Amino acid sequence: MSTPTPNHSSAQKTKTPPRRRMMGRGHGMAGGPVEKPRDFKGTLRKLVTYLNPFKVTIIIVFVLAIGSTVFSIVGPKILGNATTELFNGILAKLAGTGDVPFDTIARILLTALGLYAFSAALSYLQGWLMTDVAMQVTYQLRKDVMEKINRMPFRYFDGTSHGEVLSLLTNDVDTVSQTLNQSLTQMLTSLVTVLGVLVMMLTISWQMTIVALLIVPVSLLVVMMIIKQSQKFFSQQQDYLGHVNGHVEEAFGGHVIVKAFNGEDKSIAQFETYNNTLYGAAWKAQFFSSIMMPTMRLIGNLGYVAVVVLGGWLAIRDMITVGDIQAFIQYVRSFTQPITQLANISNVLQGTVAAAERVFVFLESEEEPPETEHPLQLESITGHVEFRDVHFGYLPDKPVIRGFSAEVAPGQKVAIVGPTGAGKTTMVKLLMRFYDVDEGAILIDGHDLREFSRADLRKLFGMVLQDTWLFNGTVLENIRYGRPEASEEEVIAAAETAHADHFIRTLPGGYHFVLNEEVTNISQGQKQLLTIARAILADPPMLILDEATSSVDTHTEILIQEAMDRLMAGRTSFIIAHRLSTIQNADLILVMREGNIVEQGTHAELLASGGFYAELYNSQFEVVEAELV
Ligand SMILES: Nc1ncnc2c1ncn2[C@@H]1O[C@H](COP(=O)(O)OP(=O)(O)OP(=O)(O)O)[C@@H](O)[C@H]1O
Ligand SMILES: [Mg+2]
């Protein structure tokens, strides 16, 4: 990556690591493979810290959840009483000894109705409070991650793909959010339900409870077996979903290249292999998770049969009322689901903590060196720049700049030339303090860069990079990026100086033409003109142009150079160019080779000395001559 901007228009697009794509939804019973956190306890503690401000609310939520569950658990028992009254009443009526006690039944039903309504009300309140907590926590997490991204050194992004960071903000935070919002209270209510139902069943009949409980280990065993089977295929499904996504993304991203090299057949064949494997894995994974419920129901039904047989036997012996049998069956029904949920708790927790861990690891990773406590506040800058024996490497053991020393007088136009990979762009990044030098120093007006705040320092420079960076928005907004308060007239004036005005006016909508997301609806050279206009509008004391006109035709390039020269008169500017013809009038030419300055001087001096620059220049000159012939 050679661009310091967070996003740019070239074909590189972020890829979300597929393995995490569905983790957030992995809460289902036969969900995907579960990632294990490295430090479960530590991460859980940090998560609790995030929840700390909401302690009181969470306790209230728990109380409400327990209350709601308890009240709904009592329901069936009360309804059972109504059945018993009805049953006995009918028997009595048939025997001619009494009547059906309708008022008693009505009273019982009203009580049950009241209980259910109350339970529902508590549940709504609980959901409302918990959603609020979950959303606030995720809002905070997202904010923290986003702010952290801006404090991370460029070095970090050299080793981490954009997709991985993106996934933190979306998938991982989402997983935590889901668990907070749903799973946490669900776990609690499941636990309360299991315990409560157990108590209710025991109060009805211990014999029937034992029979009903026999189902539990059987269903747990079956659930475990199915989950184990399906996880294998879910994991395969995720892998191949990732392959398919990646492949499609690549094929679309490189659409033009694929067509140009007749790669369609190969691409389709590759896609088919992935798609077939995905088909097989997804089929099995989905099948296994779809047989889960029917199997559970079958086992449950076998349990009912046993319970009902025993219940009937007990009823005949007058050891149990009809209503209690009915209530009991209802309890058995509401027993199995929370048990499967409880069986899945460890998976949900592990997945959530693993996601939270990634977020926390990111939040705790090393940041840019802090700003100086008392940043310099200079009234004005003359533009004297000195490089003092600068050493730098992107990687610790691979030096890129080795002992770069040069002095630039205020207002000079400095050209940096040299072969590809010599370290020209790297010098620019050091000047803007995107990276800190390893050794030596860069000084502006005699002050080390590190004495300025980063924001103040970067305000000194206008920069046009090798990689153009434009965003989805109008031409006007794009040019205005560096100086949001600029008026439309100023924007147009800047565009005129950059020789961009003419082409902009030919666009539909002119300055209000919208650049598409990938910025493919204008040409490469036009993009460069827009970024130049942007730098001109920002009107900085110093200017850096890194191959800023490399895609523009030679005639326009010369016009822009002239305009720039006029504009930058009296201001220090750095210009990197491969076409040496464009920098002949520079006040100082620094010739770089393998991270070092090998020669410096004016065009005439360097040519006269007949060194590396002369060699470079003559080789280009010959090419030009050859083209002319
Ligand atoms: N982010 C990075 N991480 C590691 N190495 C890098 C990074 N960016 C550049 N390099 C390496 O540093 C060296 C100098 O790169 P630099 O971009 O400064 O070259 P350049 O002189 O601007 O070349 P060009 O003329 O092609 O733009 C190269 O060898 C390059 O591979
Ligand atoms: Mg470069």
What is the DSSP track for 326-368? HHHHHHHHHHHHHHHHHHTHHHHHHHHHHHHHHHHHHHHS--S
Measured between alpha carbons, how far is 578 from 473 in angstroms, rounded to an integer?
A: 31
Q: What is the pLDDT of residue 557?
A: 82
- Residue 202 or residue 482, greater confidence: 202
Q: Is the CB of 186 under 6 A from ligand 1?
A: no
Going by CA atoms, what residue is nearest to atom 24 of ligand 1?
420
Binning pLDDT at 50, 70 and 90, where does residue 7 land? very low
Binning pLDDT at 50, 70 and 90, where does residue 4 land? very low
Q: What is the pLDDT of residue 56?
A: 94
Q: What is the pLDDT of residues 538-581, one digit of tens each?
A: 888 898 988 888 888 888 888 778 777 777 778 899 999 888 88
Classify strands 413-417 and 573-576 as parallel, antiparallel or unpaired.
Answer: parallel
Q: Looking at the CA of 3, name the nearest ligand.
A: 1
pLDDT for residue 326 is more than 60: yes
Residue 582 CA to ligand 2 center (angstroms) comes to 16
Residue 397 CA to ligand 2 center (angstroms) comes to 21
pLDDT for residue 17 is more than 80: no
Binning pLDDT at 50, 70 and 90, where does residue 99 land? confident
Q: What is the pLDDT of residue 33?
A: 57
Q: What is the pLDDT of residue 436?
A: 92
- Whether residue 368 contacts residue 396, with contact meaning beta carbons closer than 8 Å, is answered with no
Residue 353 CA to ligand 2 center (angstroms) comes to 42
Q: What is the mean pLDDT of residues 224-245?
A: 83
pLDDT for residue 216 is more than 70: yes
Binning pLDDT at 50, 70 and 90, where does residue 27 land? very low
- Ranges of each domain in the chain: 19-364, 385-628
pLDDT for residue 314 is more than 70: yes
pTM for this prediction: 0.73
Measured between alpha carbons, how far is 328 from 589 in angstroms, rounded to an integer?
A: 92
Measured between alpha carbons, how far is 415 from 575 in angstroms, rounded to an integer?
A: 5
What sign results for the dihedral spanned by CA atoms 255, 259, 260, 265? positive
Q: What is the pLDDT of residue 379?
A: 77
Q: Is the CB of 58 under 6 A from ligand 1?
A: no
Task: Tell me the average pLDDT of the chain.
Answer: 85
Q: Is the CB of 305 under 6 A from ligand 1?
A: no
Q: What is the pLDDT of residue 289?
A: 81
Residue 470 CA to ligand 1 center (angstroms) comes to 22
Classify strands 447-448 and 439-444 as parallel, antiparallel or unpaired.
Answer: antiparallel
pLDDT for residue 385 is more than 90: yes
Q: What is the mean pLDDT of residues 235-256?
A: 83
Q: What is the mean pLDDT of residues 593-621?
A: 89
Q: What is the pLDDT of residue 16?
A: 39
Measured between alpha carbons, how far is 1 from 270 in angstroms, rounded to an integer?
A: 28
* HSE, side-chain direction, 13 A CA sphere, residue 444: 27
32-36, 182-186, 564-568: the lowest-pLDDT one: 32-36
Largest CA-CA distance found in the chain, in angstroms, rounded: 130
- Residue 141 or residue 216, greater confidence: 141
Going by CA atoms, what residue is nearest to atom 29 of ligand 1?
421
Q: What is the pLDDT of residue 489?
A: 93
Binning pLDDT at 50, 70 and 90, where does residue 113 land? very high
Q: Which of 509, 507, 527, 510 is nearest to 518 (CA)?
A: 527
pLDDT for residue 146 is more than 60: yes
DSSP for 525-569 reads HHHHHHHHHHHHHH--SEEEEESTTTTS-HHHHHHHHHHHHHHHT
pLDDT for residue 53 is more than 70: yes
- Give the whole-number percent of the chain exceeding pLDDT 90: 30
24-33, 46-55, 324-333, 518-527: the lowest-pLDDT one: 24-33
Q: What is the pLDDT of residue 273?
A: 93
From 394, 544, 591, the mutation candidate for ligand 1 (largest count of ligand atoms within 8 A of CB) is 394
From 160, 395, 400, the mutation candidate for ligand 1 (largest count of ligand atoms within 8 A of CB) is 400
Residue 158 CA to ligand 1 center (angstroms) comes to 12
Q: Is the CB of 429 under 6 A from ligand 1?
A: no
- Same fold: 19-364 with 385-628: no
Match domain 19-364 to its CATH number in 3.40.50.2300, 1.20.1560.10, 3.40.640.10, 3.40.50.1980: 1.20.1560.10
Q: What is the pLDDT of residues 386-438, one digit of tens each?
A: 999 999 999 888 899 998 899 999 989 999 999 999 999 999 999 999 999 99
206-210, 469-473, 492-496, 519-523: the lowest-pLDDT one: 519-523
Q: What is the pLDDT of residue 250?
A: 82
Tokens representing 312 are: 């009937």
Q: Which of 415, 535, 562, 423 is nearest to 469 (CA)?
A: 535
Going by CA atoms, what residue is nearest to atom 8 of ligand 1?
2
Q: Looking at the CA of 420, name the nearest ligand.
A: 1
Q: Which residues surround ligand 2, an ion (CB under 5 A)?
A: 425
Q: What is the pLDDT of residues 284-302, one digit of tens each?
A: 888 888 888 888 888 878 8
Question: Any idea which residue has 């089929």 for tokens?
Answer: 283
Residue 466 CA to ligand 2 center (angstroms) comes to 6
Taking the CA of residue 428 as reference, the ligand 1 atom at the shortest distance is: 18
Residue 123 CA to ligand 2 center (angstroms) comes to 61
pLDDT for residue 5 is more than 80: no
Q: Is the CB of 1 under 6 A from ligand 1?
A: yes
Instruction: For residue 544, list its beta bridge partners.
Output: 463, 574
Q: Please determine, looking at this structure, whether the domain spanning 385-628 carries the CATH number 3.40.50.1980.
A: no
Q: Is the CB of 420 under 6 A from ligand 1?
A: yes
3-17, 284-298, 304-318: the lowest-pLDDT one: 3-17
Residue 455 CA to ligand 1 center (angstroms) comes to 24
Q: What is the mean pLDDT of residues 111-138?
A: 92
Going by CA atoms, what residue is nearest to atom 16 of ligand 1?
423
Q: What is the pLDDT of residue 34?
A: 65
Taking the CA of residue 592 as reference, the ligand 1 atom at the shortest distance is: 21
Residues 6+ apart with CB under 8 A from 120: 68
Q: What is the pLDDT of residue 539?
A: 85
Q: Is the CB of 3 under 6 A from ligand 1?
A: no
Q: What is the mean pLDDT of residues 155-172?
A: 81
Q: Is the CB of 423 under 6 A from ligand 1?
A: yes
Most confident of 25-39, 104-118, 524-538: 104-118
Q: What is the pLDDT of residues 474-522, one digit of tens each?
A: 999 999 998 889 999 999 999 998 889 999 999 999 999 999 888 888 8
Binning pLDDT at 50, 70 and 90, where does residue 158 land? confident
